[in-house]
Amino acid sequence: MSPQEQWIALTTIIRKEIHRFMRIWVQTLVPPVITMALYFVIFGTLIGSRIGEMGGFNYMSFVVPGLIMMSVITNSYSNVVSSFYSAKFQHNIEELLVSPTPNYIILLGFICGGVARGLMVGLIVTVVSLLFTKLHIQHLGITVAIVLMTSILFSLMGFVNAVYANSFDDISIIPTFVLTPLTYLGGVFYSISLLPEFWQGVSQLNPVLYMVNAFRYGVLGVSDINISFAFAGVAVFIVALTVYCLHLLKTGKRLRA
């Protein structure tokens, strides 16, 4: 395929992916916004006022970046895992597999779909958060870069999950039993400086901690971890997962007989 044809194939996949989650917006866009709004009310306003300061900021200001990041992570992942698995389940993934579209375009298309939903939900949650607190972004470049890289990373993880999944149960196991605990324990609601030294060490094994803190650094200018290390770690994971996803597509794992 010529570069122009590849571009057309890519934009077709992206358009299809965006159309998919916009068509079912009540399922894809509304629930995370309601959930996050409840977090803002309960943790930010009601309980937060009794917690006092965290990391030098009032609790609402502290928790908002973490909650935005949490919505980006879960929605990027969910979009790719549900879309790709549904395409497998209904066999319409074969439309792409029989076409001349190269594997990297297929992967890029689904990842862009995941990123689009992650960023859209993140943006809506950010707008909702402005009803509760003011956001003065300290480092715009870092904020945009880390949110983009995080949504790419979790879209790739969703893709791997979808390839291996054999049932709809399989696509909810990882988000429920892995993603949610990692996110909740990834410094969304607290600074790890509050933890005993041992648990601080354990927390540093959680990759979500680095993304949440890098994003919080971009917004508030404070972080529990080294930002350069966070970016390097996310970049390495993105490269490794991209190579692995392309390998899965090339070998046709669970896609071709």
Partner 1 sequence: MSVALSIKQLSKTYDNGFEALKGIDLEVKEGDFFALLGPNGAGKSTTIGVICSLVTKSGGKVSIFGHDIDTDFAAAKKELGIVPQEFNFSQFEQVRTIVVNQAGYYGLKKSLAEERADKYLKQLGLWEKRHTPARMLSGGMKRRLMIARALVHEPHLLILDEPTAGVDIELRRSMWEFLQDINAKGTTIILTTHYLEEAESLCRNIAIIDKGNIVENTSIKALLKTLNKEVFVLDTREALTAAPEVEGYQLKLVEEHSLEIEIEKGGSLNEVFESLTRSGVHVVSMRNKANRLEELFVSLVNGSADKTEKAEVKA
Minimum CB separation of residue 246 from partner 1 in Å reads 15
Task: Round to whole Å and give the CA distance between 243 and 6.
Answer: 19
Of 42-50, 99-107, 161-169, 174-182, the segment contacting partner 1 by CB under 8 A is 99-107
206 belongs to the binding site for partner 1 (CB under 8 A): no
22 belongs to the binding site for partner 1 (CB under 8 A): no
Of 43-51, 52-60, 82-90, 174-182, the segment contacting partner 1 by CB under 8 A is 82-90
> Closest Cα to residue 212, out of 112, 62, 111, 76?
62
Phi, psi for 195 (deg, rounded to 5):
-85, 155
SS3 content of the chain, % helix, strand, coil (to 5): 75, 0, 20
26 belongs to the binding site for partner 1 (CB under 8 A): no
Please say which residue, 5 or 53, places its beta carbon nearer to partner 1: 5
Task: Round to whole Å and give the CA distance between 26 and 61.
Answer: 28
Please say which residue, 76 or 101, places its beta carbon nearer to partner 1: 101
Task: Round to whole Å and give the CA distance between 127 and 132.
Answer: 10
Minimum CB separation of residue 73 from partner 1 in Å reads 26
Distances (CA, A) of 192 to 5, 33, 200: 49, 26, 6
Please say which residue, 9 or 70, places its beta carbon nearer to partner 1: 9
Of 62-70, 90-98, 122-130, 185-193, the segment contacting partner 1 by CB under 8 A is 90-98
16 belongs to the binding site for partner 1 (CB under 8 A): yes
Minimum CB separation of residue 134 from partner 1 in Å reads 41
Phi, psi for 55 (deg, rounded to 5):
60, 25
Residues 6+ apart with CB under 8 A from 230: 146, 210, 211, 213, 214
12 belongs to the binding site for partner 1 (CB under 8 A): yes
Note the residues at the interface with partner 1 (CB under 8 A): 1-2, 4-6, 8-9, 11-13, 15-16, 19, 23, 86-87, 90-92, 94-102, 252, 256-257
